Every structure is written in structure tokens, then in C-alpha cells.
Amino acid sequence: MLTNRSVPPVTVSPVLIYPDVRAAVAWLDSAFGFEERVRIGDAHRAQLRVGADGAIVVADVRGDQASPSSGVVTHVIKVRVPEVDAAFNRARDFGARVVQEPTTFEYGERSCMLEDLAGHRWELTQTVRDVQPEEWGGVTVAPW
């Protein structure tokens, strides 16, 4: 596969629509620690690095592209973090709306759910132990 320095070097790049691209980039940097990599126009798009191997694209409202509407959840972006409680506190301190406090689950993850300034839902998650899916009722179809 060819590489291209103009696009994120990841397999999947969610494109999230915001009413104000620059405000979204500033907030995502402050609240989640994402890093802007490429800016496209003053307010059209931006590519952000998420951790060591992730990326998202922030895009403007135009045509049939709209940011989320209140009370309707169409997607959740899951981000693995090294310490979920610290990441939760940081995002909450920057104004993220708390949907679910950090909780430890039987499948070995400690996770929380937050909503950003435009209504996108973010699940921050941290592995706390290795668990076979069969231990909590899942089924291993193929190993990662």
C-alpha cells in the first residue's frame, strides 16, 4: 500500500462533523490531548492524531453533513487510554458532559462515557485485566 503524507497513516479514520471546526480542534486538544496534524482551510477540516496509532478528521457542517442533534446518539468513538480516571477528569474539567462515570466491567475494561461540545459521544477505556470472552458470556469467533 502506498503512503501519503497528506492523510493519516491509519486504516480507519472517523470523520466527525462540528459546527465550528477550529473550536472543536481546540477543545479536543485541551480535553482529550489529541494533536492537530493537518489543517485544511480556515474552518473546513483538520486531521488529528489520537494516541500512537489513531486519527480522526474534524469536518465542517456543509451540504448534508450535520453535527449530532440533542438526544440522538448515532455513534460512539472508543479511545483506549493509559489511565481512564485521569482522562475522565481532564475531559470533565474542560466541559465534557458526563454520560457515565468510570466503571470497571467484568470483561476487564474500566470505561467512562462523555459527550463533547457538539454532542459526539466518547468512550474512554483502559484495560485492567486480561479476560477470555467466554468468562463473561462472549464467544471467541477468531483471535485478534
**Top-tier CATH class for 68-138:** alpha beta
Domain 8-61 identical in fold to domain 68-138: yes
Give residue 11's pLDDT.
82
Contact (CB, 8 A) for 112 and 101: yes
Instruction: Enumerate the domain spans of the chain.
Output: 8-61, 68-138
142 pLDDT band, cuts 50/70/90, is confident
pLDDT exceeds cutoff 80 at 1 = no
- Assign a CATH topology to domain 8-61: 2,3-Dihydroxybiphenyl 1,2-Dioxygenase; domain 1 (3.10.180)
Kindly report the number of other CB atoms within 10 A of residue 104's CB atom.
13
Kindly report the number of other CB atoms within 10 A of residue 1's CB atom.
5
Give residue 74's pLDDT.
87
45 Cβ neighbours under 8 A, 6+ residues apart: 21, 39, 57, 58, 59, 60
pLDDT, average across residues 85-106: 97
pTM summary value: 0.89
| All three cell numbers of 69 | 442533534
pLDDT tens digits along 68-93: 988 888 899 999 999 999 999 999 99
pLDDT exceeds cutoff 80 at 139 = yes
Give residue 6's pLDDT.
87
Rounded CA-CA distance 54/50 in Å is 5
